[in-house]
Amino acid sequence: MHDKIFYEAKLFSSRNYKSEAEALDNIFRSLHISRNSSILDIGSNRGIHAALLSKMGYKVTGIDLNPKFINYSKKSVKAAKFLLADMRIFHSEQPFNAAIAILNGIYFNKTKKELSKAFKSIFNNLKPGGVLIFDINTNLLKDHFVNNRKGVIGYSEKKIQVARFESIRKVKDKVLLKLTYLVRDHSQFYSYSNLIRFGFFSIAELKGIAKKSGFKSFKILKFKNFRPKATCFICIK
Ligand SMILES: C[S@@+](CC[C@H](N)C(=O)[O-])C[C@H]1O[C@@H](n2cnc3c(N)ncnc32)[C@H](O)[C@@H]1O
């Protein structure tokens, strides 16, 4: 059996990280954040955005709470720096020009208290005028929430097949994402699950907490080709 990161990478092999990084580059440059600026990638996962942005000249530091992702990124992406850290308590001696949290990273803060801690910490790690860009899948926002949503994605090659079933359910005040993986790797079959608890916030709540944490501006960012099923936000210090 390969490790779970290997199967996750296969599942996301058709995701267009390059166009996402290009969109981020365009956003940065429209905000006068030049290519030698420092970027904090929050929830950097396998380090793909960090790698692509580093290639463009940005000085990227990725942080993630999961040591497996940090070890993987350190081995596979030499151009960026990676640290095992929690976005809610991370403190950098050198503040950043910008921070990104792509693909629901901010939604890993489950309560208003956690979200407020995260926004405050990100705010403190930015230079004056620094920006935070984050996105949340639109149907996870309180304003557009779709309960009991189910979906499946898959990957298939001759000797490896991976399917990931997902279900999103709201149970009382909790939003639960259950991911179930079915894998065939040569002649072996595996299945495993992962239960993630997400936050459940409206756009107004996100804005209120970001502003209380110090951000002077909070806007929805409309940007063509950037994760069309997500709502993208920009906060300015
Ligand atoms: C859905 S993934 C997004 C990964 C990546 N940004 C992308 O676009 O593919 C969210 C990542 O955030 C990490 N994470 C969750 N809570 C965190 C926290 N409190 N501090 C730092 N990273 C966290 C997870 O381990 C995971 O790698």
Q: Is 5 exposed, middle or buried (0-12, 13-18, 19+ CB in 10 A)?
A: middle
Give the span between the Cα atoms of 92 and 106, in whole angstroms: 19
Mean pLDDT of the chain: 96
Helix (H) or strand (E) holding 212: helix 203-212
For residue 131, the tally of other CB atoms under 10 A from its CB is: 23
135 ligand 1 Cβ < 6 A = no
Strand partners, 194: 179
Task: Report all structural domains of the chain as residue ranges with CATH numbers, in order of start.
Answer: 4-140+199-236 (3.40.50.150), 143-198 (2.20.130.10)
76 ligand 1 Cβ < 6 A = no
For residue 150, the tally of other CB atoms under 10 A from its CB is: 10
Q: Which atom of ligand 1 is nearest to the CA of 20?
A: 8
Q: Is the pTM of this model over 0.85?
A: yes
Q: Which atom of ligand 1 is nearest to the CA of 88?
A: 19
227 ligand 1 Cβ < 6 A = no
pLDDT class for 172, splitting at 50, 70, 90? confident
Q: What DSSP character marks residue 137?
A: E
Quick check: 224 pLDDT over 80?
Answer: no
Express each pLDDT in 56-97 by its tens digit.
999 999 999 999 999 999 999 999 999 999 999 999 999 999
pLDDT class for 142, splitting at 50, 70, 90? very high
